[in-house]
Amino acid sequence: MDVLERYEPIIDDFEAFRAACERPLPSVVRVNTIKATPERVRRAFDEAGVEWRGREWNNAVLEIDASPGTTWPSFHGWSHGQEEVSAIPPVALDPAPGQRVLDACAAPGGKTTQLAALMDDEGLVVANDNNLGRLSALRFNTERLGVTAAPVTNQDARNFSLKEFPFETFDAALVDAPCSCEGTIRKNPTTLDDWSEGHVRSVAGVQKGILRRAIQATREGGEVVYATCTFAPEENEAVVDHVLDAEDCRLAEFDVGLDSAPGVTEWNGEEYDESVRKARRYYPHHNDTGGFFCAKLEVGA
């Protein structure tokens, strides 16, 4: 847990944060509204004797006292096991039915299928991932959850090409970037065993390339959401600060209804654009969740 001490200067109650990181993560599912309503899923849990607790911020998110993949709603494709903060980015993007959306790092498909559900499975969600081995999970989840609007592509998101598509830009994009995964420590206690600052710097370079390409591939007036499951400012605010200088975009305010902290504007002697405060940091002790970072960008002046 020593790695986490580097974040003590930027976390409001560090002892509560450390204690939360050491507790097991609650079991959470997202209702798949393509196939069922939240009310129907709750009734199914009641009938199966599965205890559930709702979440005020999102009617489709439920904590249950069972393994998410072993329940009848899961078998029917009515629910999908998805860590609670992982449901934030699609809600922040808030795509409309009929839009064209890029999910740049889509596997295994939790956010892809959530985007499709928010769009009533109308329009297009291009589910891209550069890892060929993960595409089977992505396809399985889109099929199990009844998504028909999500073609799967296998490209390096840093150089994503639209030459095979009959349009030149997307209306919106989601970049749930590969990262050092520090925020998943409650689910994966060994996450930090191989942590290094060198890895953080290396993955930050990849993140910058992916986010820049997503912005370039999105029309003027469109929106891009950038997210990671890490606490490292090098992978979060520093990446956003980089694209603010490199691309035509600006940060936008958003609020999904969960407690959060603003983005930090200074870290280890580096200063970031003041507007990165509009990004949100979700810490384990705030909402009894994993850790997450999310920023929303508007493309064009």
What pLDDT does 22 receive? 95
Q: What is the pLDDT of residues 234-278, one digit of tens each?
A: 999 999 999 999 999 999 999 999 999 999 999 999 999 999 999
What pLDDT does 2 receive? 84
CATH number of this structure's domain 84-299, picked from the four choices 1.10.10.60, 3.40.50.300, 3.40.50.150, 3.30.1300.10 = 3.40.50.150
Q: Give the rounded percent of residues in the chain with a pLDDT score beyond 70.
A: 99
Domain boundaries, the chain: 84-299
Lowest mean pLDDT, pick from 85-89, 176-180, 297-301: 297-301
Name the maximum alpha-carbon separation found in the chain: 56
In this model, does residue 171 exceed pLDDT 90? yes
Q: Give the rounded percent of residues in the chain with a pLDDT score beyond 90.
A: 99
Cβ distance 94 to 166 under 8 Å?
Answer: no
Strand ranges for 148-260 from DSSP E: 152-153, 170-176, 218-228, 249-252
Catalytic-role residue among 105, 179, 181, 229: 229
In this model, does residue 4 exceed pLDDT 70? yes
Strand, coil or helix: what is 297? strand
Residue count of the chain, please give it. Answer: 301
Cβ distance 293 to 228 under 8 Å?
Answer: yes
What pLDDT does 301 receive? 62
* Structure-block tokens of residue 61: 């998110």
Active site residue 229: yes
User: What is the number of alpha carbons within 13 Å of residue 169 lying toward its C-beta?
Assistant: 14
First to last CA, the chain: 42
- Nearest CA to 278 out of 296, 292, 291, 293 is that of 296
